[in-house]
């Protein structure tokens, strides 16, 4: 790799003017209007109104990333909802805080999760759950758990706004040591689905195309990459 290839991607710094979660050791978590509510929830801890809270948002929106920010601050243990068992209560008690990820993907034992919330309330501990949809809207068989989930304070991560989507594209390209013109960044942001998953796919395809053409990521390369990201039937990512 030449010295020029290792230089910082200065041509695209203007669209990175967003705050981040440096205080949590997660400097690459960019904050914008779309995720500010969820960030505020993390920053309010341990002053939550209840021992439990939920972060909700679409796949790839940054729920797990933000939950890790809370883990850094709280020392929480973590487990997937689909893996819950009686031993999970011990994780909460030993750590004082517990992250239960992806409750929308299935809860292995609803009684265990209800017990976890009860232990948190009784002992002054904390539980953070993540979900792609509001917990109150999930199909929960256990009435007591359903009621408990509906009562949780919820912070929603919305689809990324323009500022966040462009900043994420810049970061994804920079991670690949690619400096991309701001106009190309804007073009990509305008033509992709407003999701982190779409941004990652577009960057990966554009990088591969540029490499195959021995070219920079130009607008023409970006346009070809975006076309390649469209699935049969005309729907994008």
Q: Are residues 132 and 194 in the same domain?
A: no
Query: Has residue 9 been placed in a domain?
Result: no
User: What's residue 115's pLDDT?
Assistant: 97
User: What's residue 175's pLDDT?
Assistant: 85
Query: Has residue 164 been placed in a domain?
Result: yes
Q: Residue 85 sits in which domain range?
A: 35-156
Query: Has residue 15 been placed in a domain?
Result: no
User: What's residue 195's pLDDT?
Assistant: 82
- 55: domain CATH number? 3.40.50.300
Strand 20-21, strand 77-80: pairing: unpaired
Alpha-carbon dihedral angle through residues 140, 153, 49, 28, given to the nearest 10 degrees: 120
Calpha distance 159→147 (Å, rounded): 27
Tell me how many domains the chain contains.
2
Calpha distance 105→26 (Å, rounded): 26
User: What's residue 30's pLDDT?
Assistant: 80
Query: Has residue 76 been placed in a domain?
Result: yes
Q: Are residues 89 and 173 in the same domain?
A: no
User: What's residue 99's pLDDT?
Assistant: 98
Query: Per residue of the chain (237 residues), what is the pLDDT tens digit?
Result: 444 444 444 433 334 455 555 555 555 678 888 888 998 999 899 999 999 999 999 887 788 888 998 999 999 999 999 999 999 999 999 999 999 999 999 999 999 999 999 999 999 999 999 999 999 899 999 999 999 999 999 999 988 888 888 988 998 898 898 889 999 999 999 999 888 888 989 999 999 999 999 999 999 999 999 999 874 433 444
Joined tokens for residue 206: 């554009």
Out of 107, 132, 156, pick the residue that ends a domain.
Answer: 156
Whole-number Cα distances in Å, 34 to 20, 37, 141, 162? 13, 8, 32, 9
Q: Are residues 151 and 62 in the same domain?
A: yes
Strand 97-101, strand 126-131: pairing: parallel
User: What's residue 13's pLDDT?
Assistant: 38
Give 182's contacts (C-beta < 8 A, 6+ positions apart).
11, 12, 14, 15
User: What's residue 16's pLDDT?
Assistant: 47
């Amino acid at each position: 790799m030449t010295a020029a290839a290792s230089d910082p991607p200065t041509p695209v710094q203007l669209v990175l003017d967003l705050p981040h979660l440096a205080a949590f050791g997660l400097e690459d978590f960019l904050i914008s209007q779309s995720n500010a509510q969820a960030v505020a929830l993390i920053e309010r801890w341990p002053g939550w109104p209840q021992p439990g809270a939920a972060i909700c948002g679409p796949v790839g929106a940054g729920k797990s990333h933000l939950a890790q920010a809370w883990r850094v601050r709280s020392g929480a243990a973590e487990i997937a909802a689909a893996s819950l068992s009686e031993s999970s209560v011990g994780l909460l008690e030993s750590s004082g805080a517990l992250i239960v990820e992806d409750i929308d993907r299935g809860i292995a034992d609803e009684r265990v999760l209800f017990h976890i919330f009860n232990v948190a309330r009784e002992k002054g501990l904390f539980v953070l759950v993540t979900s792609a949809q509001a917990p109150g809207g999930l199909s929960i068989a256990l009435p007591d758990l359903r009621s408990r989930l509906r009562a949780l304070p919820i912070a929603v991560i919305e689809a990324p706004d323009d500022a966040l989507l462009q900043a994420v594209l810049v970061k994804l390209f920079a991670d690949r040591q690619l400096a991309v013109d701001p106009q190309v960044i804007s073009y990509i942001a305008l033509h992709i689905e407003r999701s982190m998953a779409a941004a990652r796919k577009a960057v990966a395809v554009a990088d591969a195309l540029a490499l195959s053409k021995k070219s920079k990521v130009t607008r023409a390369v970006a346009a070809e990459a975006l076309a390649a990201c469209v699935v049969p039937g005309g729907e994008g990512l």
